[in-house]
Amino acid sequence: MVVQGDFTMSDQSRAYSALPTSLQDSFREAGTGLGRTFPNSLHLGRVRIPGPLVRIDYVFHSPQLKATAATVNCIEGQSDHCAVVVVL
């Protein structure tokens, strides 16, 4: 099983800790760094705020799968979120 999306929560939140223990966080398993995904290319007027600032997008998988690589890919102008790319 694979569950992915914008969960709008931090990995330190109560909601994250309430996820079923049977689901593995793919980025935590195989990624490096903080995995921040939001916001991608934040602008306040003409000032660009370096980002992303928080990790709110996730890929979870069942124990039958194993994450072997996980990265965050930010492409300006595509979305306000960066993509989480996982190899299972």
**Pairwise CA distance, residues 12 & 3, whole Å:** 19
Mean pLDDT value across residues 37-52: 85
Over 90: is that where the pLDDT of 76 sits?
A: no
Give the three-class secondary structure for 86: strand
- Phi, psi angle pair for 41, to nearest 5°: 65, 60
Q: Quote the pLDDT of residue 61.
A: 97
- Percentage, residues of the chain above pLDDT 90: 77
pLDDT band at 50 (very low <50, low <70, confident <90, very high): confident
Asked if 68 and 30 count as a contact pair (C-beta separation under 8 A), the reply is yes
Over 80: is that where the pLDDT of 43 sits?
A: no
Which tops the pLDDT comparison, 3 or 49? 3
